[in-house]
Copies of this chain bind each other. A is one copy, B any other.
Amino acid sequence: MVRLAPPLSQRKSLTATPEKDPFMKAIQFLTNSSEAGSAIEVELATPTPEGHDILVKVEAVGLNPVDYKVRPGEGADPKTLGFDAAGVVVSGGDKTSLFKEGDLVYYAGDVTRPGSNAEYQLVDERIVGKRPSSLNAVTSAALPLTALTAWESLFHQLGIDFDARDKNAGKTLLIIGGAGGVGSIAIQLAKLAGLTVIATASREESAAWCRKLGADHIINHHGEMPAQLRELGIDHVNYIANFNKVDGVWEAMGEMIAPQGGIVLITGHEKHLDMAGQFKMKSVSISWEFMFTRSMFTTDDIIEQHRILNRVAELVDDGKILTTANDNLSPINAENILEGHRRLESGTSIGKLTVSGWA
């Protein structure tokens, strides 16, 4: 911390920084379900940050499929979920240096630790960014997980250089699942990087959304994608970012990818996959992107997520990236968190769903 928070007893006079209450509300899931009663509100001792951790007072949380994927299974302990969050820094551990109390921040957190569905949360400052000054807590909370996933997919896993517009000109990227949370950010980032973007969308509404975000071409991932590409005059694409399901499109990806091309995937698959054939003949690279790898393993470059989130905030403030926040529930309580899980599970939500404020 640039300015370390003074001990609680001396902090009554600092009005800019929120008070840390000794106890806090948290929403905990008891079972792997989104039915009423499977999450409850509890009161827990407010934690104290140590080491690289900062304590953040949570103002808004964003929901993602990972929320319902990691609910506790049978016999597991109750779990405070929630990953995307926006809030204000309260205090920091002895190894913190990136933020000061009162800073407005956003982050996607760490899947191995208690989540953001709580009044206060500990988070390693190296995975936290200064949130866009042009956005409020709600619209900020919609961004981190999808922005980190999109950024790491394109600029780390596929090895595209964000700042090399000239080099990227003429290179083609197929984004499977363009209208989803990650796809919506990836379209914008790829266009900023100078690529030609073909996004897939299966409904008119989602196709229009992809075009608005800058996609050059739209094809339908429920149809024959290679044939649709050829109709656009494109035989092969240099990159494929598949933010959708993998199983049904494996062979099509092998056909569409260019020699020496790169593919990035973010979801699992049901069937075991045949990686040889086209992929081998073309010397293709296939990468998994999992936004939580850096925090889960505390990799040497964990601070990269701090840098990415700061850079995304600048792009938002410069009007170059639109937030994908679309719907908000308030306040943050068990009922609304459960309602959020149900909406995500239905697979019909458009843009990002957030939950904000404390009753």
Contact check, A293 vs B281: say whether CB atoms are below 8 A apart: yes
Is the CB of A359 closer than 8 A to any CB of chain B?
A: no
Contact check, B297 vs A259: say whether CB atoms are below 8 A apart: yes
Known A259-B297, A296-B259, A299-B259: A283·B275 in contact at CB below 8 Å: no
Interface size class of A (residues with CB under 8 A): 20 to 34
Q: This chain: how many copies in the complex?
A: 2
The 8 A CB mask of A261-287 against B (1 = contact, 0 = none) is 000010011011111110111111111
Is the CB of A159 closer than 8 A to any CB of chain B?
A: yes
Residue of B nearest to A299 (CB): B259
**Complex formed: what's the CA distance from A288 to B284 in Å?**
6
**Complex formed: what's the CA distance from A280 to B282 in Å?**
22
Contact check, B159 vs A259: say whether CB atoms are below 8 A apart: no
Contact check, A297 vs B282: say whether CB atoms are below 8 A apart: yes
Is the CB of A289 closer than 8 A to any CB of chain B?
A: yes
Is the CB of A140 closer than 8 A to any CB of chain B?
A: no
Contact check, B286 vs A285: say whether CB atoms are below 8 A apart: yes
**Complex formed: what's the CA distance from A284 to B266 in Å?**
11
Residue of B nearest to A301 (CB): B260
For window 287-312 of A, CB contacts with B under 8 Å fall at: 287-290, 293-294, 296-297, 299, 301
In the complex, which of the residues B260, B273, B281 contacts A275, with contact meaning CB atoms closer than 8 Å? B273
CB distance from A80 to the nearest CB of B (A): 21
In the complex, chain B residues whose CB is within 8 Å of the CB of A184: none
Instruction: Return 17 A-B CB contacts under 8 Å, by A number.
Output: A152-B283, A259-B296, A260-B293, A260-B299, A260-B301, A265-B275, A268-B277, A268-B280, A275-B286, A275-B288, A281-B296, A282-B297, A283-B287, A283-B288, A283-B293, A285-B285, A286-B286
Top 4 nearest A-B pairs by Cβ distance?
A272-B272, A285-B287, A268-B276, A259-B297
Which residues on A are within 8 Å of B, measured CB to CB? 152, 157, 159, 259-260, 265, 268-269, 271-277, 279-290, 293-294, 296-297, 299, 301
